[in-house]
Chain A
């Protein structure tokens, strides 16, 4: 077995070319044992390519990737025993029940001692053990996929877009399962194009766009480092306030009965509130927010993280 380090995954100058197209361009990062690491980026950014190279099922064009100290291009059969994978768009045998599917994967790993019932309970599928895969809803299928990824008690768990295509309720249920894994101290490598998912689950986020990693750090660090403004929102505000704020040199935006103002520092907020009060205008409530990862991403890349946000909210 290779030399063990404090890192579960070490990626150095990884590149991957499909024909003439560079899908992954000189990416480097390290994932510490026990942390939840998220690769955040829009469709086609190179997330699946990267994660599948680490999982040993695609070959890098150049660069070095080590998993638990082992070279992923040389130690496939040692590595696969120690990792658990939920592939993108996970699917399983239609006519095989939840329990049988778990038993099948458990046998592939030769883990006869796996407590299948415990895993099934972990993903909240206990009352579905006798159901055939084809009868499960999308969220249940993903949860079964997560249970399968845990069947060999892996040291590193890979989840490639675990909640894509799920409705908000099913997504939150998957998040609950993943928060449980995080609590257990599993090393989790997650890819997603949902900012909230990365923000909620990840200790470290790497933002990837067009094959390149453009920023890395904890969600807070990323926001601190890239957000040079605060967002003030005033609810049910007197229309006169818009004028008052504009006169102070800010550029307020009206959104229904709310006013949004970007300010550089907290001091500006105090000034604005005072000016409104002095002007005799009133408002019902206010809040101040840092921009979220979505806005950080937009700022860094000039591209939107995902186009489906509107549609999904519409479906809510």
Chain B
């Protein structure tokens, strides 16, 4: 191992990357474009419809008036939820991000308030909502406005209609906050795997590797320089993605020591896969095709873009054989829910994978002819 040699290689590879403007643009900007596009889509997910799921447990004339008042805003499309089902489950199942629950005894309280003039009578409506949805906050604000108007009409002091928020998750987070760690993982995978395969097959095809074999550089120097190169790219692109996400969407993710750890493990894993592929596939073009053939299914089957729970069981089990799955889960555990136990578990799995595949890559990477 010779640091001067490693440094010289790093300089050459970073310069080559930087000067290849289109390639640089696509590798660093593509994930950011994904974030911007998906972020915008999820921000707007049902602004247009504003479906309101309404569960009326009271089933009285008075409670029906609430529904009418809500419909009268013209902004809400009321969908009734069977009083027999659990609102939280319904929120999850129906992809409704919010179910408004009118409690049993609403009419009774209303009568008491109206007829007996009991100023202390009130009723509490529940917002059962999914905090991962980006539009739910706006929807609640809209509902708050409607109820404030009703209260004003009733000149109720203290207000007759009160609301309470029941989250179906323990912590408020938005879909984007779930999405971004997946994109970070995907970006590191594409850069490390594709970068390794592309650069190595191209240099071999051009005979540069053969030339290097007649200099004092060792395989270890070369591989270390490649790892550092990929690590630097991964750090730059992760930083850019996080900055854009903060600036544009104001996401809140935990940035802690897990992030660099997962980046390191990811770089080793995917550079390792890249080295193995480079050995198997000789031509630069077929090597790129092979890299894509590995990466694309992995992106869709590892839950990079959407929660795995949406997929059939056998695909979910299959996902657990993919390194990207553990990277996704680990990054989400670390950055979204700050769950160190789950993060550690996933880090251990991907760490073991990285060790195996990287050593395999080292063994099969050849500079000189074998026999």
Contact = CB atoms under 8 A, between A and B. Distances in A.
A154 to B, nearest CB: 10
Contacts of A87: 207, 210-211, 214
A57 B209 CA distance: 11
B4 interface: yes
Interface stretch (B15-23, B119-127, B183-191, B345-353): B15-23
A83 B4 CA distance: 20
Interface string A22-38: 00000000000000000
A110 interface: yes
A92 B203 CA distance: 8
Interface residues of B, number: 27
A83 B11 CA distance: 25
Interface in A256-272: none
Nearest to B18: A95
Given A87-B210, A107-B8, A110-B216, A100 B15 contact: yes
Nearest to B212: A108
A57 B210 contact: yes
Interface residues of A, number: 30
A15 interface: no
Contacts of B216: 77, 80-81, 108-110
A212 B170 CA distance: 80
Given A104-B12, A110-B4, A95 B215 contact: no
Contact of B15 (A81, A95, A110, A148): A95
B371 A80 contact: no
A53 to B, nearest CB: 10
Nearest to A61: B371
A62 B310 CA distance: 63
Contacts of B12: 93, 96, 100, 104
Given A93-B16, A96-B16, A108-B5, A83 B214 contact: yes
Contacts of A109: 215-216
Interface string B231-249: 0000000000000000000
B337 to A, nearest CB: 43
Interface in A224-261: none
A77 B207 CA distance: 20
Interface of A: 55-59, 77, 80-81, 83, 85, 87-96, 100, 103-105, 107-110, 132, 148
